[in-house]
């Protein structure tokens, strides 16, 4: 099973990957975590990638996912789809879209981290809070156009992890018994609370924040 974590910068992807991995391992499951290759690349090169280097970033990230042990639950902090999104944003380059969507179809579960966490500067690859909503929108557009399902994870601290585990359990029957909890994930009150539509969820959340 492969679980992908997507989201704009400073939305808690890395922390959530750590939390999910630790929790599932404590449940007795074999887990393999794949960290974000872009962060490693930037630390080594001390800069962000140029346009022609984006393909290398995307393919290396996916190669590490595919190299994971077959019997493990793979949790990956971003996929080539994030590289494709930033190629669009920074270079107006759509050449990675088809590859990214093709590879993303290999994942069983996609969790999209919500924009409810405060933006924090951390590393070369972070641009600023102003890009988070456009990035979030592009992720949703690509996934929706390719009919790739996703679940949005909101909440802070331990509640964010609990909500993510609830989403995973809903989509993976074999994990449901281990992760089951009687209450619904805490998000908000409203007509879209249980519809599961990521775009609807985002619109409602955005209205609540701006209101």
Residue located via tokens 């499951």: 29
Separation between Cα atoms, residue 181 and residue 83, nearest integer Å: 35
Instruction: Dump pLDDT digits (tens) for 37-80.
Output: 999 999 999 999 999 999 999 999 999 999 999 999 999 999 99
CATH code: domain 2-185 is 3.40.50.300
Beta bridge partner(s), residue 4: 76, 110
Nearest CA among 184, 124, 191 for reference residue 155? 184
Give the separation between CA 168 and CA 118, rounded to whole angstroms.
Answer: 24
What is the pLDDT at residue 120?
Answer: 74
For residues 90 and 86, what is the distance between their CA atoms, to the nearest angstrom? 6
Q: What is the pTM of this model?
A: 0.81
- 54 to each of 7, 27, 40, 117, 210, how far by Cα in Å? 18, 37, 14, 27, 34
Structure tokens at 168: 């995973």
Higher per-residue confidence, 173 vs 64 = 64
Q: Which of the pair, 80 or 190, is modelled with greater confidence?
A: 80
């Amino acid at each position: 099973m492969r679980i992908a974590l997507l989201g704009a910068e400073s939305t808690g992807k890395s922390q959530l990957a750590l939390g999910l991995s630790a929790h599932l391992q404590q449940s007795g499951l074999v887990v393999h975590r794949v960290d974000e290759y872009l962060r490693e690349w930037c630390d080594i090169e001390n800069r962000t990638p140029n346009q022609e280097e984006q393909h290398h970033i995307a393919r290396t990230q996916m190669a590490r996912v595919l190299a994971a042990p077959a019997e493990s639950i793979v949790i990956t902090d971003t996929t080539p789809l994030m590289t494709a999104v930033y190629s669009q944003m920074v270079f107006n380059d759509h050449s990675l879209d088809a590859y990214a969507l093709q590879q993303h179809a290999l994942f069983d579960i996609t969790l999209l981290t919500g924009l409810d966490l405060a933006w924090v500067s951390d590393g070369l690859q972070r641009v600023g809070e102003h890009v988070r909503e456009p990035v979030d929108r592009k992720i949703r557009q690509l996934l929706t156009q390719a009919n790739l399902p996703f679940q949005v994870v909101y909440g802070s601290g331990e509640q964010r992890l609990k909500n993510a585990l609830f989403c995973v359990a809903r989509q993976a029957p074999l994990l449901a018994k281990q992760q089951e909890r009687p209450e619904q994930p805490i998000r908000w009150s409203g007509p879209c609370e249980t519809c599961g539509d990521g775009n609807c969820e985002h619109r409602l959340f955005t209205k609540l924040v701006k209101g």
